[in-house]
Each structure stands twice: as structure tokens, then as C-alpha cells.
Structure 1
Amino acid sequence: MTTRRLSTFSILGVCALFALSGCFGPPSPAPTSSSSTPSATASPVTTPSATASPSAPISPSTEPVPTTTTAPSPAPTSPAAREETTSPGLPEQVAPLTVYYVAIGDNGTSGPMIGCGDSLVATTTAPVRFTDQVGPSIRTLLANKSRAVGMSGLVNVLYQSKLTYLGGELDGGTITIHLSGQFMLSGVCDIPRAKAQLEFTAMAASGATSARVFVNGRPIDDVLSLK
């Protein structure tokens, strides 16, 4: 009886031992599917850090250059090209022109006395562009077809004359101008007035101290002579 009871207890003890080993044994290894999942989800986290790293800035040389900054600028006009359109040796400038008219009966009060007790008076135009001032000044005088010079009281005795400026040259202190056409004057006193208007206008334009005027190749004194 004692032997059989021990055997029974022995069997129960062994069974109990196996049951306990099943409950407290080493943990089973984690499934492979669950262990690979974190590594797959963690990989995107490291990707932005590589692109945002300050150790590798974008080089400015790789940026595209706008075409407007690389377009060639137009070539500047050379001084030689500008000089071809102007008179050789004379710089282009902008300034008023000086033109002379007559103050009849002024007796030299307003300017140099000429003719029949008259005065020669200098007037100025609006600024004009020129290289040779003599030509524009004489042409301005000849283009005035009014006897009265505005409200100034001055007179232009050349207003009826049909004259054209041909050219001129400066020799030392003397300016020589050449005209073509004919004079249309109102009387004897207009002869010194017309001559003075032409000569003084030419001297003011050239800076000369004396002037000679030729009309149709002849000296003005011969053309205006009453002989």
C-alpha cells in the first residue's frame, strides 16, 4: 500500500514539474515579421536628415543664370563715327546765335553808329545746335522776312532781299562770307545798314575783328554801288 501511494505521488510530482516548466520557461523568440517592421518604418526618418544637412549647401555656381544678365550691351558709338556728321576740327555745341539789326535814328546810343545816324544793335536767338556758327547766324538773318523785329523797335533792312549763304572762311582776324542772289533795298540809307548787318553778324559768329562780304563773286561795295 505504501509503495503504490508513493508511486502515485511521484507521477503527480513529475507532471507538476513539467507544468511549471511550461509556465516559467525561457520566452519564445519574437516573430520575425514584428522585428522587421520597426526597421522599415524607421528608415524614412533618416532620409530628411541627409537632405537637410548644412554640410552640403547648394553651390551658387549651379544655379541657372538669367539670360537678361548675360545679353551683350550695345556697342557705344565711337567718337570717329560722330565726327563724320559734323564739320572736321569744330566741336558740336549748343548756344544762342547773335544777329544784328538797326535802330534807326538812334545816333549810336544803343550800339555802333552806322549809315544815316543809326545804331547797330545785337540780338540773340534761342539756343541752337551747330558746329560752324557763321553759317547758322547768316542764314537766320537772311531768313527773317519781316521789317520790324518784334516789338523791339529794331528794323531789318534785308527783309526783301533774296540772298543765299554759300560759305565762309576765317583768315586771321578777318571773316569772309560768300552770298548769291540780289539785294532789294528801300533807299540810299539802307545800303550801309544792309552791309553793317551782314558784316557785324559774321564777326560776332566767328570772333573776327573785320569782315568781307562777296555777292555773286563780287565785293559787296561794288554790288551796292550807286554808280
Structure 2
Amino acid sequence: MARPRFSALTVFGLGSLIFLTGCFGPPAPAPSSSPPAPTPTASSASPSTTATPTSTASTSATTPAAPPSSAPASPPPTQEPTPTGFPEQTAPLTIYYVAVGDNGRSGPAIGCGDSLVATTTAPVTFTDQVGPSIGALLANKSRDVGQSGLINVLYQSSLTYLGGELNGSTITISLSGQFMLGGVCDIPRAKAQLEYTAMAASGATSAQVYVNGRPIDEVLSQK
């Protein structure tokens, strides 16, 4: 059998190919055309869910309105009392009692041959003298006026002074209650004691007395 013949050139080319294959080995894989994925950094972490208030918020929206002042209102100016028309004064009161059988020698003559005699009290402070004077007369529950020999025929009566009014030279007083007298001669005595005491206190020259809304003459006529 005839052997094949190789030329020198053929042998040289085959050797060169084997040598190149042994030097380089298999080819390296082709590089990817896509860029590598970026590694997450701290800046890409999820944002915090806690809201932080900003410093630009309006202070008027969150500041409560000031409460109304609790300071009390200023009291109104003190008014001066209204004048009553009578100045306050301190003086004795004049009270009239009866001198039985005196026949007008010691004072104004009244019925049954008696007299009225003025007496004075200790100093009293008043603005209207009529009320205190009539009140002092009605408050005396003794028949005898000390050691003077004078008597008070109103000592058993239950009378209360209600008020008085001066009209010109006439003083009018109003009383309530009941008379308790000792006889017919006590009628002019009781009327005179009330009228003269009221006139002395008011400076009037005549007097009218009403008891329970009725004239004193009408009331005493039934005694």
C-alpha cells in the first residue's frame, strides 16, 4: 500500500495551527452590551414616614386667642345721697303734758279747766323733728311725768306714728292704733297733747291729726 506524501509546506502549516491553539485556548466570552445594575446606596433608602413640621408654618394658626380679661369692671362712681330737705341737727324735743285744774296759768288752756305745759327731753339727733317728737310722746307709758305734777293721758293708748306733712302753717300727722282714755275730760287732753307737740316740732300754728285714716275728732267722739 502506498503511503501518502506530505510536502514540507503542509507539515509546517499544521504545526503552526497546533501551536496557536495551545497558546490562546478557547476564546473569552463576548462582553454584555447592558451596563451592570447600580448598587443601592444609602441615599436610595425608603424615605421616613414621619412628617417633620416646617419652620415656615404660620404662628397665628396654632396660637389660641387670648381669653377675655377676668378683671372686674370698674364700679360706677359713688353717688351722693339725695338731700331730704331737712339738715341733720341735734337738739332737745318739746313734748306737751297736762296740768290738771291749772286753768291756763302755766300754758295754753284746754277743756275741763286744764293747761298744756311744754317739757323738753335730752338732746336727740334728727332731720325731721315731728316723727321723733310724736314718737317720744307715744312711747311714754307712765301717767305721771316725774315729780312735775303733770300727767300723760295717752299712757294707756296703743298708737303708732305713720308720717307727717307740713302744708303752709298747718302740720298734718297720721297715726294708727287705738285710744285708751280714762274719761270725757281725757278727750280734749289727748287731742291737745298730740296737736301741740306736732306744732312745736314743725313750727306750724295749726295741726290736723288722723287716726286710722279718720279725723281725730271723729274717732274721739265715740269715746
TM-score (norm 2): 0.64
Give the superposition deviation at 1:226: 3.6
CA deviations over 1:44-83 (Å, ceiling 9, x no partner): xxxxxxxxxxxxxxxxxxxxxxxxxxxxxxxxxx9x64x4
Q: Identify the match of residue 216 of structure 2 among 195, 214, 220.
A: 220
Give the counterpart letter for 2:168 in structure 1. Answer: G
1:158 paired residue number: 154
Give the counterpart letter for 1:130 in structure 2. Answer: F
1:89 and 1:141 map into 2 onto residues whose CA distance is 24
- Alignment of 1:97 onto 2:93: yes
Identity of aligned residues (%): 80
CA deviations over 1:153-198 (Å, ceiling 9, x no partner): 0000000000000000000000000000000000000000000000
Give the counterpart letter for 1:203 in structure 2. Answer: M
Calculate the aligned-residue CA RMSD, in Å. Answer: 1.4
Give the superposition deviation at 1:89: 1.2
Give the superposition deviation at 1:115: 1.2
Give the counterpart letter for 2:216 in structure 1. Answer: I
Report runs of 4+ in structure 1 exceeding 3 Å deviation: none
Alignment of 1:101-116 (within 5 A): 101-116=97-112
Q: Identify the match of residue 139 of structure 2 among 140, 143, 148.
A: 143
Q: Identify the match of residue 172 of structure 1 among 163, 168, 175.
A: 168
Q: Tell me, what secondary structure is at the counterpart of 1:222?
A: helix
Q: Which has the larger radius of gyration?
A: 2
Count of aligned pairs: 146
TM-score (norm 1): 0.62
2:222 and 2:133 map into 1 onto residues whose CA distance is 28
Gaps of 5+ in 1: 1-77
Q: Tell me, what secondary structure is at the counterpart of 1:116?
A: helix
Q: Tell me, what secondary structure is at the counterpart of 1:158?
A: coil
Give the counterpart letter for 1:222 in structure 2. Answer: E
1:108 and 1:89 map into 2 onto residues whose CA distance is 36
Alignment of 1:18-97 (within 5 A): 81=80, 83=81, 88-97=84-93
Q: Tell me, what secondary structure is at the counterpart of 2:132?
A: helix
1:95 and 1:218 map into 2 onto residues whose CA distance is 32
CA deviations over 1:192-214 (Å, ceiling 9, x no partner): 00000000000000000000000
Q: Identify the match of residue 208 of structure 1 among 204, 208, 211.
A: 204
